């Protein structure tokens, strides 16, 4: 059972790392001035303006993210969907070199919020949200690995 869980979370880790490393290279090559961010963004250049329209108050989003990323008080070995989503978000933050939600920029906060929404979305909504990302297939693969039932 431990090896099965390790395999699942290892796959999630590899998918998150590949996602964090790959999406921006093609866009930077085509249009070097397309991004003014100082971090590796997961989104397409036009996505942030659309996401700002969808998002609620940034303070509320930061509070939700902080609550999600706080350590859970569950017995060891039990992973909930919240724990899995928190792992993905933590890996993205680690790639950005940020350890606290309050240290995130507005754009980074919105990116984590949309990643969190995509991870919990229905298949149809996830497909629509994936369009905001530079690597939509990688995001959907990561989402599918989180919602897939663990075989007994």
Residue 17 lies inside a defined structural domain of this protein: no
Structural domain tally of the chain? 1
pLDDT at 13: 65
Residue 12 lies inside a defined structural domain of this protein: no
Give the pLDDT mean for 57-75: 84
Residue 99 lies inside a defined structural domain of this protein: yes
> Distance of CA 144 to CAs 67, 148, 150, Å?
23, 6, 12
The residues, ordered by sequence, that sit 6+ positions from 93 with a Cβ below 8 Å of its Cβ are: 69, 99, 101, 104, 108, 112
Give the pLDDT mean for 18-41: 55
pLDDT at 63: 92
Residue 50 lies inside a defined structural domain of this protein: yes
pTM above 0.85, yes or no: no
Residue with tokens 């990643």: 115
List, in sequence order, the alpha helices (H) in the chain. Answer: 2-21, 24-30, 47-54, 58-69, 81-96, 106-120, 123-130, 136-147
Residue 19 lies inside a defined structural domain of this protein: no
Domain holding 114, by residue range, is 45-70+81-147
């Amino acid at each position: 059972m431990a090896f099965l869980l390790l395999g699942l979370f290892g796959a999630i880790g590899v998918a998150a790392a590949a996602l964090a490393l790959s999406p921006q290279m093609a866009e930077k090559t085509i249009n070097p001035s397309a991004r003014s961010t100082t971090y590796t963004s997961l989104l397409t250049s036009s996505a942030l303006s659309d996401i700002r329209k969808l998002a609620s108050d940034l303070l509320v989003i930061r509070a939700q993210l902080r609550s999600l990323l706080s350590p859970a008080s569950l017995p060891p070995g039990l992973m909930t969907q919240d724990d899995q989503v928190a792992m993905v978000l933590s890996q993205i933050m680690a790639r950005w070199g940020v350890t606290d939600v309050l240290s995130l920029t507005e754009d980074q906060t919105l990116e984590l919020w949309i990643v969190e929404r995509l991870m919990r979305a229905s298949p149809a909504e996830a497909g629509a949200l994936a369009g905001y990302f530079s690597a939509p297939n990688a995001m959907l693969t990561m989402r599918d690995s989180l919602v897939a039932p663990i075989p007994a």
